[in-house]
């Protein structure tokens, strides 16, 4: 089951499959597609798992065991890769709130987000090699973009699982917060990114815009009412 909460411009998508540690099944993929459709227009998107044990524990091995042929495996991989691409391409900032362990396919979902905020007791790893397979949902490429080609090969090739602090040092996690304040901190961060400015900044830092497009994005924000209202507040505070 996937729950979608709309909170004043912030869409919060929660993967809630406690019996499977929030693993991804074919039905979950269908629900994820519908949730992403429903989240369209949100100024920021947060993805989390239910509970405090797992963000996403990977693919649901029991449900995916019916897939036996190369063609079937490729179809499944393309299906979930497309959904991770949709997360990565969401037009507003995307935060992965790592409430629990993110392993295998769960790590692939995590790196599809723009920013990863982790509770300090979680673990994350691309450990698909323990099942004699490899990341197939775009995670290997995204991991390399985050940590570099050599480190990505080392992590995914050995199946290393990192603690939160080590993942932060490697550049795989952006912020680690105490478990006690995790729920408050990830939500506060996500809300702070639910702005038109942050969405424009995402486009620019993504590397797909020209200098001309970046300047025009700035100019649009400058001319908007929100800028002048904020500027007036700042000027009044300065008096």
User: What CATH number did the domain enclosing 150 receive?
Assistant: 3.90.226.10
Predicted confidence at residue 138, as pLDDT, reads 98
Domain membership of residue 83 (yes or no) is yes
Q: Which of 121, 19, 133 is nearest to 108 (CA)?
A: 133
Q: Which of 64, 49, 58, 70 is nearest to 116 (CA)?
A: 49
Domain membership of residue 103 (yes or no) is yes
165 and 223 fall within a common domain: no
63 and 7 fall within a common domain: yes
Taking the C-alpha atoms of residue 109 and residue 95, their distance in angstroms, rounded to an integer, is 11
Does 238 score more than 80 pLDDT?
A: no
Domain membership of residue 199 (yes or no) is no
Predicted confidence at residue 239, as pLDDT, reads 63
223 and 132 fall within a common domain: no
183 and 214 fall within a common domain: no
215 and 116 fall within a common domain: no
Structural domain count of the chain? 2
153 and 41 fall within a common domain: yes
- Average pLDDT of the residues in 229-236: 92
- Whole-model pTM? 0.95
Taking the C-alpha atoms of residue 31 and residue 16, their distance in angstroms, rounded to an integer, is 11
188 and 213 fall within a common domain: no
Domain membership of residue 204 (yes or no) is no
71 and 24 fall within a common domain: yes
Q: What percent of the chain clears pLDDT 90, i.e. is strictly above it?
A: 95
Domain membership of residue 197 (yes or no) is no
Does 157 score more than 90 pLDDT?
A: yes
Does 5 score more than 90 pLDDT?
A: yes
Query: Over the stretch 65-123, which tens digit does the pLDDT of each residue have?
Result: 999 999 999 999 999 999 999 999 999 999 999 999 999 999 999 999 999 999 999 99
Phi and psi for 150 in degrees, rounded to 5?
-65, -45
Averaged pLDDT of the chain: 96
Contact 36, 87 (CB under 8 A): yes
- Average pLDDT of the residues in 171-185: 98
Secondary structure (DSSP) of 109-161: HHHHSSEEEEETT-EEE--GGGGT----SSHHHHHHHHH-HHHHHHHHHHT-E
Q: Which of 157, 149, 95 is nearest to 129 (CA)?
A: 157
Contact 112, 81 (CB under 8 A): no
153 and 100 fall within a common domain: yes
- Average pLDDT of the residues in 159-166: 98
- Average pLDDT of the residues in 164-185: 98
């Amino acid at each position: 089951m996937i729950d979608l909460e709309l909170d004043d411009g912030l869409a919060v998508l929660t993967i809630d499959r406690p019996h499977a540690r929030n693993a991804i099944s074919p039905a979950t993929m269908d629900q994820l597609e519908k949730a992403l459709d429903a989240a369209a227009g949100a100024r920021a998107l947060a993805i989390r798992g239910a509970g405090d044990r797992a963000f996403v524990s990977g693919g649901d091995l029991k449900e995916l065991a019916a897939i036996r042929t190369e063609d079937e495996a490729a179809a499944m991989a393309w299906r979930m890769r497309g959904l991770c691409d949709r997360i990565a391409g969401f037009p507003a900032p995307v935060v992965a709130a790592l409430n629990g362990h993110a392993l295998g396919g769960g790590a692939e979902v995590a790196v599809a987000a723009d920013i990863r905020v982790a509770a300090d007791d979680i673990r994350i790893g691309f450990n698909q090699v323990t099942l004699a397979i490899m990341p197939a949902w775009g995670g290997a490429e995204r991991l390399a973009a985050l940590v570099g080609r050599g480190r990505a090969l080392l992590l995914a090739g050995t199946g290393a699982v990192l603690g939160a602090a080590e993942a932060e040092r490697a550049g795989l996690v952006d912020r680690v917060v105490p478990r006690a304040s995790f729920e408050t901190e990830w939500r506060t961060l996500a809300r702070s990114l639910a702005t038109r400015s942050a969405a424009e900044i995402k486009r620019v830092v993504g590397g797909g815009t020209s200098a001309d497009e970046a300047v025009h994005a700035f100019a649009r924000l400058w001319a908007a009412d929100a800028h002048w209202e904020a500027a007036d507040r700042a000027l009044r505070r300065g008096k």
